[in-house]
Amino acid sequence: MALLYMADPARGEVWRRLIGEMAPDIDVRIWPNIGNPADIRWVAVWDVHVDLTATFPNLEVIFSTGAGVDHLDFSRIPARIPVVRMVEPGIVEGMVEYVTMAVLALHRDLPTYIDQQKKHVWAQHYETPAAQRRVGIMGLGSLGQASLAGLAPFGFPLAGWSRSPRAIPNVETFAGEAGLGAFLARTDILVCLLPLTAETRGILDARLFARMPAGARIVNAGRGGHVVADDLVAALDAGTLSGAVLDVTEPEPLPPEHPFWSHPRILLTPHVASLTRPETAVISLLENLRRHAAGEPMIGLVDRSRGY
């Protein structure tokens, strides 16, 4: 029985070495060197090159190498084959670091000072205390809740919004369309960590920006498809928003002429907020393989009705 790794080949070699040390009975193959397709029981995938179920007749589980599964076409995956997203400590730790960095950068007006440096301008600006800067996170799964916990020591008033109600200590929570307006109205810095689904695509648009306080700021570390790019640029130019930190875009990478590259109110990073760490990812994968063999629920099993 074999596991096929379909993502960055260099990282695949690390996965193969680690799995060889921890579970030497598993034959790890790296795309495109698949050997006999009938041997493949599991795939760990990010870049999908083929029709997985048609190519691998004995496929049992599809593992995403990242926290999301929006890169997979569920219409081509039979319901009998479980799809599992990556849930591992490295992803969580990385996201907490990035969200903390991005929120603090916007809180302390870093886009303004970076722009001033380029123009050789030395000017100080009023500093808003953290206790007066309200931060809200959209998406209250493991990444959202861990990010809220990471921000708590700074003293920001914290809130969260999700599709269904959640209760989180010391966090004001809102849910569904009924709670979205009140959530946006009290949020000065909005962090999007939502999964990308048909319902959330384009959620960061002109209508949403208009429901936030004037001069609010945006962090998107979810997916590029959450943002309507033209609406974001227009909101920044009009002063509806005063800054944005974007780790994800659509497409990736952006074309050279895209306005995100040079906009003075945007800080842009190349989808690095939360990278899967092989050392911990492999442990999570092997645990799920054990659970699958034992007939136990796998961690990160995707609910197809929700898309995550």
Selection from 65, 60, 62 nearest residue 73 by Cα:
62
- Decide if 56 contacts 31 (C-beta within 8 A): no
Active site (annotated) includes residue 226: no
What does the DSSP assignment read for 21-85? Answer: HH-TTSEEEETT----GGGEEEEEESS--S-HHHH-TT--EEEESSS--TTS-GGGS-TTS-EE-
Contacts of 280 (CB under 8 A, 6+ apart): 88, 89, 90
Exactly one of 108, 271, 277, 291 is catalytic; which is it? 271
The active-site residue out of 41, 107, 134, 223 is 223
Length of the chain, in residues: 308
Cα–Cα distance between 220 and 56 in angstroms, integer?
Answer: 36
- Short-list 103, 111, 175, 106, CA closest to 138: 175
User: How do beta strands 216-220 and 83-84 pair?
Assistant: unpaired
Catalytic, 258? Answer no
What ranges in 77-141 are assigned the alpha helix state H?
89-107, 110-119
Cite the active site residues: 223, 271
